[in-house]
Amino acid sequence: MSASLTPIRGTWIRVCGYEIRVHVREGRGDEHDVPLVLCNGIGASLEVFDSLIQGLDPERTVISFDVPGSGLSPVPRLPYTFHVLAATVARMLTQLGYVRFDVLGYSWGGALAQQLAFQFPRRCRRAVLMCTATGVMMVPAKPYVLWHMTTPRRYRDPEYAAQVAPLIYGGAARTDLEGVRAVFGKVETAASRRGYVYQLLAGSIWASLPFLPGIWQPVLILAGDDDPIIPLVNAKAMQRLIPHAQLSVFPGGHIDPLLRSDDIGSRIERFLTQKDNDNDE
C-alpha cells in the first residue's frame, strides 16, 4: 500500500468521565467505509501506529486514540477494567458518529479488542488481534522479558528501548535498531507511572479464554514466529477457540507490525475486504 496523504483530524472526547485524545484519518466515508479502530499496546501513544496506518488503504477511515493515562490522555483518578474501557470506547465512537466499526488490537490493546468484539457483537463487524493473547490464562513470556515490561522506560528513553528491544521484541528488533528508535521516538508522551500501573492492573485481572467461543465475528489473528512477549502457541490456542478465526503467521517479532507496514497492512486489508463466506487467508 502506498503512504496516505489523507489529513488526520485530531480531537478530544469527554466520555464516561475520561478525557481521551483521538485522531481520525477520514476515508471515503461511504456505506462501505467501516472505520477501523486501533487499540494500542501498553504505555504507548497513538503515534506508534503511524507507519501501520500508512500501510492501510488510504480510503479507509482509521481511528486511533490514547488510552486514559497514556500519551496525552490524562491519568484517571481510579483504575479501570477492560469491561469499562470497552464501554468507554464504544461511547467514544458513538460521539464521533460511528455505529459499526472494525477493531484492531495490538499487544495489550488486543485484550481491549477482544472485549469490544465480545461486548458489542452488533456493532463490531470484524476484529484483528495482533501480537496478543488471552490475559492471565495465557502461556507467559520468560521472566526476564516480563521484568522489562513492568516499566514504561522504553517509551521515555529511545536508547534504552534499542538496548532491550532485541531481548523483549525479537524479530526485526534484533537487527533494525534504528527502526526501533524511530518507533519509540514517535511517542508523544509516555504513560505516567500511575497510568502504566493502571494498564498493568487491568491486564492482571482479565482473561478471555472463557468467552472466546462467544466471539462470532470474523477474526484475523496476526502473530510473529519470533515474539518473546507473546509465544506463538497463544495465537494457535486462540484460533482453535474462536469460531471464525484465521491465523496468519509472519516472520518476525513483537514490534515487526510497527516496522513492516506494507506486509502487515496488506494482510489486514485482505482480511477486512474479503467476503464473509471467504475463509481463505
Ordered by where they begin, the domains of the chain are 8-140+190-273 (3.40.50.1820)
Q: 188 falls in which pLDDT band (50, 70, 90)?
A: low
In tens, the pLDDT along 25-61 reads 999 988 889 999 999 999 999 999 999 999 999 999 9
What per-residue confidence (pLDDT) applies to 183?
78
Is residue 279 pLDDT above 70, yes or no? no
Q: In this structure, what is the dihedral angle of CA atoms 241, 199, 127, 221, given to the nearest 10 degrees?
A: -50
Looking at the chain, the whole-number percentage of residues with pLDDT higher than 90 is 75
From the candidates 107, 208, 248, 261, give the one annotated as an active-site residue: 107
Tell me, rounded to whole angstroms, the distance of Cα 162 from its chain centroid.
Answer: 21
Q: Are 6 and 25 in contact (CB under 8 A)?
A: yes
What per-residue confidence (pLDDT) applies to 223?
98
First to last CA, the chain: 18
What per-residue confidence (pLDDT) applies to 31?
84
In tens, the pLDDT along 223-273 reads 999 999 999 999 999 999 999 999 999 999 999 999 877 899 999 999 999
Instruction: Name the average pLDDT for the chain.
Output: 91
Is residue 159 pLDDT above 80, yes or no? no
Active site residue 107: yes
What per-residue confidence (pLDDT) applies to 280?
39
What per-residue confidence (pLDDT) applies to 180?
79
Question: In the 3-class helix/strand/coil scheme, how is 85-136 assigned residue by residue?
Answer: HHHHHHHHHHHHCCCCEEEEEECHHHHHHHHHHHHCCCCEEEEEEECCCCEC
Residues 6+ apart with CB under 8 A from 33: 27, 59, 60, 61
Is residue 124 pLDDT above 80, yes or no? yes
What per-residue confidence (pLDDT) applies to 64?
97
Higher pLDDT residue, 160 or 45? 45
Q: 186 falls in which pLDDT band (50, 70, 90)?
A: low
What's the rounded mean pLDDT across residues 94-102?
Answer: 97
